[in-house]
Amino acid sequence: MHELSLAENVIRIAETAARNAAAARVTRVRLAVGAFAHVDPDTLQFCCELAARQTLLDGAEFLVERTPGQAFCIDCKQDVALERIGFPCPQCGGFDLRVTAGDEMQVLDIAVM
């Protein structure tokens, strides 16, 4: 379950931000996970809550947003939304696609007190 190691990194990032802001605790963390990131949002949220215990994030709310996949089609020279890797271009049906978004994960914002 690599979501647990990702969650531990999220906790480290948020704790560092909270300490830099001289905050007593973190109340909310909002994350974005791309459709191709091979991360289950529900599992990540659970793991974040688990990893947050006995830290500045204990009891914080974790919001995980799914971001869509995007690709550039070499055949029709279009940026297209892509549901899954391996699917054809929704514009021309071609398979020569370069993923441009949807494989990332990032911390969007952190709320502190």
Q: Which pLDDT band holds residue 1 (cuts at 50, 70, 90)?
A: low
Q: How far apart are the first and last CA of the chain?
A: 31
**4 has pLDDT over 80:** yes
| CB proximity list for 10: less than 8 A, separation 6 or greater | 29, 31, 48, 51, 62, 107
Q: Which pLDDT band holds residue 23 (cuts at 50, 70, 90)?
A: very high
Q: Does the model's pTM come out above 0.85? A: yes
Arithmetic mean of pLDDT, 63-90: 96
- The domains located in the chain, with CATH, are 2-68+102-112 (3.30.2320.50)
Tell me how far apart the alpha carbons of residues 107 and 33 are, in angstroms, rounded to a whole number: 9
Residue 44's pLDDT is: 98
The answer to whether 87 and 21 are in contact (CB under 8 A) is no
Arithmetic mean of pLDDT, 81-100: 95
